[in-house]
Structure 1
Amino acid sequence: MPTRNTPWPAGTPCWIDYGASEIDAAKDFYGRLFGWEFEGGDPEYGGYLNATRNGEPAAGLGPLMDPGDSPGWTTYFATDDAAATAARIREAGGAVVVEPMEVGPMGTMVIAADPQGNAFGLWQSGQHTGYRVFNEHGSLVWNEAAVDDPAAARGFYTAVFGFTWAEVPGAEGYQTFAIGDRMLGGLGGHQPGSPKGWTACFAVDSTDEAVATVESGGGKVTMAPMDTEYGRFAVVEDPWGAPLSVMQPPSGS
């Protein structure tokens, strides 16, 4: 089980959380899909929960900060200085929606949007260093964004995080982003009918079983399972319309 218990390097997608309109129903759906257990829920943190695998944090789940928003997943990038990164977001044309906010001793969070309106977060870790389990069933395996103007988006995220980019051959302009030699995620053009903005991809033991669990739980499949060189992949929506993807890594990987 790959784990990490120290802060993630700046610019790394380090946490994901879900804003829920129905907390108990979301716990049930995602608990069955990913085998999650839940810790926390203290009133002082607004009922926020950590979803865990084998006792290690994999993701967060909490009530929607604005009840008028749609349920969905937020990707957070690690930062060593939330205020300085928030300043770079503004300088690059983005918006800071929630100013740097200390979450007790856990860390400092920011909610922002790029110039095209795609939301993301920042996390400056304190006691909570982000996800501690990854690349196994029920944990994060990949983050990517689908945007209207990929070139402009690459410029923005490079200015904010210092990313470098590499085009994936035959992938219609899709590019991966990295810091140094660490590949961190991907970004490409938005296709009508597909999720827009930042989405999270979760590792699963069986993509077909995960898709069946989504459908039996009231969700739907928006891209049927398909085999790729990276694994068997599918895009789904939960019962509240929030997109996510699942990936069964190739055997032996």
Structure 2
Amino acid sequence: MTANKLKHEQVQYLEFLTKDIERAKEFYHKSFGWKFVGYGPDYTAFGGDYVDGGFTTGEPVKGSVLVVLYFDDLEATKAKVIAAGGKIVKDVFSFPGGQRFHFQDPDGYELAVWATV
């Protein structure tokens, strides 16, 4: 991920749940030519020109994708989400390349927000 691709307050990353990361990698590589970077046995990432994404292990829910937004200031954004009525469902945590948190919007949709460290 290059810094010039990051756009404040824009969808930047999609995260899919999969029962089998290797199967997902094979399917998306064969279907669309996606290339992957592994981050341990439970996570793999792919890159694109406009939106990046990844696959993590878990029980998929039909049609479920985690939308991940990029923000310049994680704590300020967290405060805005809470003030707007969002509920933090996974507090700020670190991962390779940054930090993020997850929240539910008033309709119950879960999204994530990340920032570089």
For normalisation by structure 1, the TM-score amounts to: 0.40
State the 1:15 CA deviation.
Answer: 1.3
How far is the alpha carbon of 1:27 from its aligned partner?
A: 1.7
User: Residue 119 of structure 1 aligns with which residue?
Assistant: 110
Specify the alignment match of 2:101 in structure 1: 110
The Cα offsets for residues 100-130 of structure 1, whole Å up to 9 and x where unpaired, read as 11114x101111111011111101024xxxx
Q: Which residue of 2 aligns with 1:18?
A: 16
For the pair 1:5 / 2:14, whether they are aligned, the reply is: no
CA drift of 1:25 comes to: 2.0
- CA deviations 1:46-92 (Å, max 9, x no partner) are x3111246xxx83211112xx4x626321111112222211211111
How far did residue 26 of structure 1 move? 1.6
Letter in 2 for 1:98: K
Q: What SS class does the counterpart of residue 26 from structure 1 fall into?
A: helix
The letter of the residue matching 1:62 is T
Give 3-state SS (helix, strand or coil) of 2:3's partner: coil
**1:241-252 mapped onto 2 (5 Å cutoff):** none
1:51 pairs with 2:42: no
Deviation for aligned residue 1:29: 1.9
Query: What is the CA–CA distance in structure 1 between the aligned matches of 2:114 and 2:31, rounded to whole Å?
Result: 26
Paired residue total? 114
Q: Which residue of 1 aligns with 2:29?
A: 31
Q: Distance in 2 between matches of 1:10 and 1:52?
A: 18
In structure 1, how many angstroms separate the alpha carbons of the residues matched to 2:9 and 2:28? Answer: 27
Q: Could you report, residue by residue, the CA deviation over 1:126-178 in whole angstroms, capped at 9, with x for unpaired residues? A: 4xxxxxxxxxxxxxxxxxxxxxxxxxxxxxxxxxxxxxxxxxxxxxxxxxxxx
Provide the C-alpha distance between the structure 2 equivalents of 1:16 and 1:115, rounded to a whole number of angstroms. Answer: 20
- Name the amino acid aligned to 2:107: Q
Q: After TM superposition, list the pairs within 5 Å mapping 1:222-241 onto structure 2.
A: none
Correspondence list, 1:145-160, <5 A: none
Give yes or no for the alignment of 1:83 onto 2:80.
no
Instruction: Give matches, 1:186-201, under 5 Å.
Output: none
Bigger radius of gyration: 1
Unaligned 5+ runs, structure 1: 127-253
Shift in Å, 1:24: 2.0
Letter in 1 for 2:40: D
Q: How far 1:32 sits from its partner (Å)? A: 1.8
**Structure 2: 5+ residue stretches without partners:** none
Residue 133 of structure 1 corresponds to: none
Counterpart CA distance in 2 for 1:20 and 1:83 is: 30
> Residue 108 of structure 2 aligns to a residue in which SS?
coil
Query: What CA distance in whole angstroms lies between the structure 1 residues aligned with 2:115 and 2:52?
Result: 17
Structure 1 counterpart of 2:32, which letter? F
Looking at structure 2, the residues matched to 85 and 95 of structure 1 have their Cα atoms a distance apart, in angstroms, of 13
Cross-structure match for 2:56: 62
